[in-house]
Amino acid sequence: MKIDYRIIPHKDQHYRTAGDYWWEGDTLHIRVSKLADPLHSYLIFIHELIEATLVREDGAPDESTIFDVPYEKARKVGIAAPCGCLPTEDSEPGDDVHCPYYREHGMATVIEQMLAFFWSLRWDEYGEEVRKLDVPLAKNKDGGMVVRPGKKRGVSGAASRAKTRTRLS
């Protein structure tokens, strides 16, 4: 397996996202929006790497873009996504229980949060930086992790929740 990882200007993303991946043969391509704190961009990279690897190892087809793009288009015009759910300003495609990579996205988010904790990053500052890109983020009122109900349980996506940590300088 080869990994083609690049940090790019946010305007160059294929759709409203801070991180994107796709496979071409045995090459995993990952594009991450450039953030002011390089560790924040690295967290997105780790999330995408874990999610893409879990999806492939589970034997599922990579349907991330197939699901995400119509979901984001539905959000833009204020209609229900093809799955029937109404995207909100703060929802994220991977957090939707109908998302084909829902479990993998949840696990990637947990690992992303653990790494942020290990690096003593402030999760709220990370989330704010991603939000400035105009990327949707799920959140709850106490800033904690959101666990969605359903047969498959997962943790909601990138960067807007987790306990506040002080970054060690």
Q: Note whether residue 75 is domain-resident.
A: yes
Q: Note whether residue 168 is domain-resident.
A: no
How many CA atoms within 13 Å lie on the side-chain side of 154?
A: 25
Print the domain residue range for 47: 2-131
Q: Note whether residue 140 is domain-resident.
A: no
- Give the pLDDT of the chain (169 residues) as one tens digit per residue: 899 999 999 999 987 789 999 999 999 999 999 999 999 999 999 999 999 999 998 876 676 778 888 988 898 889 999 999 998 877 888 888 998 889 999 999 999 999 999 999 998 899 889 988 876 544 433 444 333 222 222 333 333 323 333 334 3
* Three-class secondary structure of residue 46 per DSSP: helix
pTM: predicted TM-score of the whole model, two decimal places: 0.74
What total number of domains does the chain contain?
1
Q: Note whether residue 65 is domain-resident.
A: yes
